Amino acid sequence: MENAYAQALWNIIKGGKEPTEAVHALHEQLKKSGRVSLAPRIARAFERIAARDHARNAVTLAVAEAGHGHHGQKEAAALGIDVADAIINIDPTLIGGWRLEARETLVDASYKKHLLAIYRATTNA
Amino acid sequence: MESSIVEKIIREIEQYAPKNESEHVGRVTAVGDGVVAIDGLSKAVMSEIVIFEEGKGKPLSDTMEVRAELYGLILNLEEDGVRASILGDSARVSEGMTVKSTGRILSVPSGDELLGRVVNALGEPIDGKGPFKNVTFMQVERQASGVMDRKGVSVPLQTGIKAIDSMIPIGRGQRELIIGDRSTGKTTVAIDTIINQRNEPKEKRPICIYVAVGQKESKTARIVEQLREAGALEYTIVVDAPASAPAALQFLAPFSGAAIGEFFMDRGQDVLVIYDDLSKQAVAYRQLSLLLRRPPGREAYPGDIFYLHSRLLERAARLSDERGGGSLTALPIIETQEGDVSAYIPTNVISITDGQIFLDASLFNKGVLPAIDVGISVSRVGSSAQTKSMKSVAGGLKLELAQFRDLEAFMQFAQDLDKETADRIASGMRMVEVLKQKNGQPLPLESQVVILYAATHKFFADVPVSQVTAVEKQFVEYMDGQHAKTLAEIRTSAVVSDESKKELNRAMEEFKLAHADLFTPAK
């Protein structure tokens, strides 16, 4: 039940309602239906939805070594991807290059991917 | 040797043109029971193939160890994501895993290279004989041929089984259901039909595809061995989705078999596809549908269970001459519980197909093999494909057997029966013996015609019932040795001419004289 309340609250706020107002209205509704005890659980469910949404919309740029982020950002921008707010992660398994993950987009320009492609082409040929 | 490998690697590196393209992806949010919920992939389409990215965060050496990519099949498009079934080991999928869209609808390889091979539901070889090199990919879900692309069934598909070819004939392009309880010989009928195709001239021989759904691996291995020993594997492809395979693969296997067959049909060849069995496919589809949270209907099967089978079996067709004249004959198998043909799935498939061969457990237990109940078995379109020779000898057979079944109950009062009834029972008993056939021993058309001609001309009337099978065998051997010309004429002309009839009558007389000891006049 708390998930449904949290999702409804999320949708209302996403729809443009003031968060304080929305929370107040929800509290009143819970009071009316005798479900105030659900409030802490609704808060935790809301937190989970927010975290999921953040992760879903976050733009992550992974590079093999610290300091390579700038280079990756430049190349990604050249492909027309907005990486201004990208979170930069260090992933040494990439060997070199960069890998960008956004909502439904993936650009893998890592050396690992290219080496793997050559390996597969050679062994399958 | 070593330098050639180095050269090959150099060539691959030189030819490699790295592309940093944007890919459409989603992320696994939940996984369980072979089904995954994926967030994203908003542009994905139904039945699209997706790839699970397993190498993320793993060193290159570990990623290289993964030999085959793990695929998923999109089966549900939802408001904020999609649901897909995993076409492989679901233990390889974890939450948060990236899933890449391919834009490809599920396809399987087909071509001459597949003949004699065993493949899984994705068309990947599983017989250890190496990958395919020159194949054509066929879409697993394809619209069945339309009315204008088809023509009527007119060419027979010989099963080599006397009871079927004489009374329930099957034509090329037909859909004939084989139905019966467990262990009544359904698979045997299907396998004998495949084996019998070796009696066909090579240019007219149908390509055979045996689709094993939810079967034991040991059973499939035995069938492959049987086909190999009989020399039938060279024109057969086995598609195997065993009981241990994920439900998605069991549901897909018959469609893959049809897709592989359509390649040959489009090329103008004849194809025979056996779906063994569709009850297990229905169960796999029910499992998948429930996991995908589709609403359950009767017996918990989803609402589109009829469509699942009708769209598969509609793909059986005989194409018009403009489309190459190829055909795809379907022999689906359905397992019943306690002989109940009125259950949900059996009635569905009975209504879709062009007839059914019903195998009766009580006949099986009496030793009547194949245990075909000719009373309720029927072929709706096959009679127009039956050869004239067979028609001429098997015309009244079904009626005679039906009358015998009615009179059978009076057999215990044999002493009090009038002569006509007693004669009819005696003749029926012999006819039942004549129609008995051991498994793995399909008979060519001309031998069947000769046996049935003899049976309908009271040749076995003086043979004790227990000896009929042995006498029949000797008679066929005698005909093969002494009257090969007559057999050849029946085979090539597909009719029993007056000349052939005279020859057959003469042969029967000669055989009776030579083997007088086998014929004891009835008292």
Q: Nearest residue of B to residue A107 by CA position?
A: B22
Q: Is the pLDDT of residue B37 over 60?
A: yes
Which residues are CB-neighbours of B81 under 8 A, at least 6 positions away?
Answer: B26, B29, B37, B38, B39, B40, B41
Residue % of chain B over a pLDDT of 70? 98
Confidence of residue A70 (pLDDT cuts 50, 70, 90): confident
Phi, psi of B359, rounded to the nearest 5 degrees: -100, 125
pLDDT digits (tens, 9 = 90+) for B298-311: 999 999 999 999 99
Average pLDDT over residues B452-465: 91
Report the pLDDT value the prediction gives residue B284, as an integer from 0 to 100.
Answer: 96
Q: Give the least confident one: A18-32, B110-124, B390-404, B449-463.
A: B390-404
* Domain encompassing residue A86: 58-124
Q: Write down the pLDDT at residue A54.
A: 81
Highest mean pLDDT among A80-89, B89-98, B310-319, B381-390: B310-319
DSSP three-state, residue B108: strand
Mean pLDDT of B126-139: 92
The per-residue pLDDT for A3 is 87
Test B40 with A109 for CB contact under 8 angstroms: no
Asked if B60 and A121 come within 8 Å (Cβ–Cβ), the reply is no
Q: Are residues A46 and A103 in the same domain?
A: no
pLDDT band at A83 (very low <50, low <70, confident <90, very high): confident
Most confident of A24-33, B25-34, B49-58, B171-180: B171-180
Cα–Cα dist B260/B256, whole Å: 6
Cβ-Cβ contacts under 8 Å, B8 against chain A: 122, 125
The per-residue pLDDT for range B53-65, each reduced to its tens digit, is 988 888 888 888 8
Report the pLDDT averaged over residues B236-249. 95
Strands annotated E in B13-55:
22-32, 35-40, 48-52
Q: Is residue B104's pLDDT more than 80?
A: yes
Q: How far apart are CA B403 and CA B426, in angstroms?
A: 12
- Residue among A75, A105, A116 whose CB faces B22 most closely: A105
**Within this chain, do residues A21 and A38 fall inside the same structural domain, yes or no?**
yes
Are A66 and A116 in the same domain?
yes
Q: What is the pLDDT at residue B348? A: 96
Pick from A51-65, B14-28, B335-349, B485-499 the range whose average pLDDT is largest: B335-349
Does A6 share its domain with A51? yes
pLDDT(B181) > 60:
yes
**pLDDT of B274 over the 90 cut:** yes
Is B380 assigned a catalytic role? yes
Q: Is the pLDDT of residue B365 over 60?
A: yes
Q: What is the pLDDT of residue B69?
A: 85
The number of C-alpha atoms within 13 Å of A16 and in the hemisphere containing its C-beta is 0
Q: Shortest Cα distance from A44 to chain B (angstroms)?
A: 19
Question: Tokens in use for B197?
Answer: 């195709």
How many Å lie between the alpha carbon of B125 and the closest alpha carbon of chain A?
14
- Once rounded to an integer, what is the mean pLDDT over residues A99-114? 88
Task: Tell me: pLDDT of A15 over 70.
Answer: yes
pLDDT, average across residues B240-260:
95
**Does residue A78 sit in the same domain as residue A22?**
no
Which range of A22-26, B28-32, B112-116, B459-463 scores highest in mean pLDDT? It is: B112-116
Chain A residues in contact with B39 (beta carbon < 8 A): 56
Number of domains in chain A: 2
pLDDT of residue B501: 92
Closest CA to B478 of B445, B506, B497: B506
What pLDDT band is residue B1 in, cutting at 50, 70 and 90? low
ipTM > 0.90 for the complex: no
Whether residue A68 is found in the same domain as residue A32: no
pLDDT over 70 (residue B522): no
A115 CA: distance to closest CA in chain B (Å): 8
- Interchain CB distance below 8 Å, B16 and A122: no
Return the residue in A79, A106, A113, A114 with the most chain B beta carbons within 10 A, the one to mutate for interface testing.
A106
The residue out of A38, A56, A74 marking a domain boundary is: A56
Shared-domain flag, residues A63 and A113: yes
Q: Are strands B70-78 and B236-241 parallel, antiparallel or unpaired?
A: unpaired
Q: Are residues A82 and A92 in the same domain?
A: yes
Kindly report, residue by residue over B475-509, the tens digit of the pLDDT. Answer: 999 999 999 999 999 988 888 889 999 999 999 99
In this structure, which long-range contacts are made by residues B284-289, counting pairs with CB atoms below 8 Å and at least 24 apart in sequence?
A: B284/B213, B284/B214, B284/B247, B284/B248, B284/B250, B284/B251, B285/B247, B285/B251, B287/B247, B288/B34, B288/B35, B288/B75, B288/B85, B288/B247, B288/B248, B288/B251
* CB–CB contact B26 A95 (8 Å): no
CB contact under 8 A, B25 and A104: yes
Tell if the CB–CB gap between B25 and A79 is shorter than 8 Å.
no
Say which of B22, B43, B57 has its CB closest to residue A91. Answer: B57
- The predicted model gives B84-96 an average pLDDT of 91
Same domain, A52 and A62: no
Q: The whole model's pTM is what?
A: 0.86
- In this complex, do B64 and A114 lie within 8 Å of one another by their Cβ atoms? no
Q: Is pLDDT at A57 greater than 90 in this prediction?
A: no
Residues in B touching A124 (Cβ below 8 Å): 131
Active-site hit among B380, B405, B424, B491: B380
Same domain, A26 and A67: no
Q: Indicate whether A82 and A46 sit together in one domain.
A: no
One domain for residues A62 and A52: no
